[in-house]
Structure 1
Amino acid sequence: MDRLEAMSLLREAVDRGSLSAASRALRMPVPTLSRKISDLEARIGTRLLVRTTRSLALTDAGIAYLAAARRILHDVETAEREAAGEYAEPKGQLVLTAPIQFGRLHVLPTVADFLTAFPEISVRLLLNDRNVHLVEDEIDMAVRIGPLVDSSMVATKVGTMRVVAAASPAFLARYGAPATPDDLRDRPVVAVEGPMVETSWRFAPTARTAPIDIPLRPRLAVTTTEAAVDAAVLGTGIIRLLHYQVSEAVETGRLSLVLEDAEPEPVPVHLVHATRGQMPLKLRRFLDFAAERLRSRLHELPRNPSSRATAPGLNKG
């Protein structure tokens, strides 16, 4: 049996969540895929997967084996790329990931320009609002917005992103503009539900002496940032999002920024990758190319029209 092939099939089955999903991706019949994994288990002498008709799970032995298989496959694939010349000239496929909205607005235009400049490189751009594991998911580079939690990654900072509060001019005319974060306690707010439950909004007081947490009791909770912006434009409540997520609505006057003097510290934006030491030229070229353009885009965001000029009765501080 081909053990490298069997390792790849096992990895694909686990990553896809089922044998049927893996068979579709690999264009391999399910019985063939199942038999090859069974042959691998027989060779090792232990069960790696617990199969059901719709899903599968790794055994304890399977967890350990798959982790080792991923390392082996990564080393083999790196060796193949090096032999194919990817370390000598920029060519091959890059796999990138970014948050959905930021990726669409800022990464995609950068990728399009990059493909024009480097015709021998192709790109898979995976837009996802969860932080995927670069090595396990075989991703070359990711855009990360916020503090980095994985110190093993190589990070290049490309800028910062403001965390802003905003509301519609009609909402501000009805309720008045909040002068301090405490004013949010008696005004409707719109929250975004995500993997991490947000129970409060943190602001820095005007004196910048210590942060202040405002308990979150949303009048409306939604599951996407786009829906939150739409709700705020309709006058449902005040939202608090990353600046790029509201910039278009602010530019067109549909939303106005509030509590700008009490904004928390901007969060960092990085390009991160797992490669240390020598990296494929395609990755080096993209890092150099994208870092410059993303820095320029992020630098332009704070220049967007602010609420000071558009919102009736808005705090001028």
Structure 2
Amino acid sequence: MDRWQAMRVFVKVAETESFARAARDLHLSAPAVTRLVAGLEALVGARLLVRTTRSVKPTEAGARYLQDCRRILGDIAEAELAAAGHYAKPVGTLAITAPLLLGQLHVLPLVLDYLERYPDVRARTFFVDRPVNIVDEGMDIALRIGHLADSGLTAIQVGCMRRVVCAAPSYLATRGVPGTPAALRDHRVLVSHSAWSSLEWRFAGGQRVVVEPLLHSNTNAAAISAAENGLGLTRVPHYQIAQALADGVLQLVLEDHEEAPLPVNLIYPEGRQAPAKVRAFIDLAVAGLRSNPLFNPRQ
């Protein structure tokens, strides 16, 4: 039995929770997949997977073995890539994830520059407003806003990001400018749960205000559009409205009450040595983002 192939099949079955799906993804017959997993279980002397009526799940021993298999297969892949020269020259496909608007506005231009510089590389972007497990979802690099949990990932801070409250000048001329966070209770509030699902807005000095939104949207873009049209106040990351502020479409309020900016980090899986395609993009992105005034805390 090819132990490497058996481990690869076991990982695919555990991840897809299906012998049939694993067989299709790996271009193997269903009996071959079943035989390889059975052989692996006989080799390690433990039941690794248990079938339910709807799916296949790892046993307790299987879950531990799954982690080891992923690590071992990753080491093999690193060794093969190193032998093929992937660590000397950027080649292959680079997968990058970031929050939706952050990705569209500030990561995509870096990706386009990167592709111009390194013609042997292809890129895949995944811009979405939800946490992405970059290992499980096959990402090479992620750009994250906020404090990071402890993990086995490498992180490089590229700046900080303000969270700001804003409204259209027409709204403020009609309804007045709130002088304190508590004054938000007397205003129309537009909320998006893509970035902050809580209706409790926090400010410097431990100030907290529970807002009652006139509009509750699932995207920041919708809340910003409503604010631009004079419907009320909204709270979003500063970079998302920078152009609207420069154009005078929106105006900041409560600047003296802002919480400390959130850190912005590039993260990528830790290994003995990152592939050249990752190192090259990290170098380019760190320089580009750190030089962007939107990614520096307000002085």
TM-score by length of 2: 0.84
Aligned to 2:90: 90
Q: Return the alpha-carbon distance in structure 1 between the equivalents of residues 244 and 13 of structure 2.
A: 42
Matches of 2:94 and 2:206, distance apart in 1: 41
Q: How many residues align?
A: 296
Aligned to 2:188: 188
2:167 counterpart of 1:172: no
2:261 is equivalent to residue 295 of structure 1 = no
Change (3 A) 1:57 1:285: same
The correspondence for 1:228, drawn from 223, 243, 249, is 223
Whether contact under 8 Å (1:160, 1:267) holds in the other structure is yes
Contact 1:144 1:269 in 2 (8 A): yes
Return the offset for 1:217: 2.7
SS in 2 for 1:190: strand
Question: 1:91/1:54 Cα in 2 relative to 1: closer, same or farther (>3 Å)?
Answer: same
Match of 1:270 among 265, 288, 291: 265
State whether structure 2 residue 109 is matched by structure 1 residue 109. Answer: yes
Aligned counterparts of 2:121 and 2:246: Cα–Cα separation in 1: 35
Match of 2:240 among 238, 245, 264: 245
1:9 to 1:224, Cα distance in 2 relative to 1, 3 A:
farther
**Distance of 2:195 and 2:27 partners within structure 1:** 33
Aligned AA for 1:221?
H
Distance apart, 1:115 and its partner CA? 1.0
Provide the identity percentage: 43
Contact 1:249 1:255 in 2 (8 A): yes
The answer to which of 67-76 and 89-98 deviates more is 89-98
Q: Say whether 1:149 aligns with 2:143.
A: no
SS in 1 for 2:57: strand
Gaps of 5+ in 2: none
Q: Pick closer, same or farther for the CA change 1:20–1:271 going to 2, 3 Å.
A: same
CA apart distance, 1:141: 1.8
Superposed counterparts of 1:1-317, under 5 Å: 1-16=1-16, 26=26, 36-37=36-37, 40-41=40-41, 44=44, 46-51=46-51, 55-150=55-150, 152-194=152-194, 197-204=197-204, 210-275=205-270, 278-296=273-291, 298-300=292-294
Q: CA RMSD of the aligned region, Å? A: 2.9
Q: In the aligned structure 2, how far is the partner of 1:194 from the partner of 1:17?
A: 29
- Rounded to whole Å, the distance in 1 between the matches of 2:29 and 2:104 is 35
The one-letter amino acid of 1:156's match is: I
Structure 1 residue runs of 5 or longer lacking an equivalent are: 205-209, 303-317
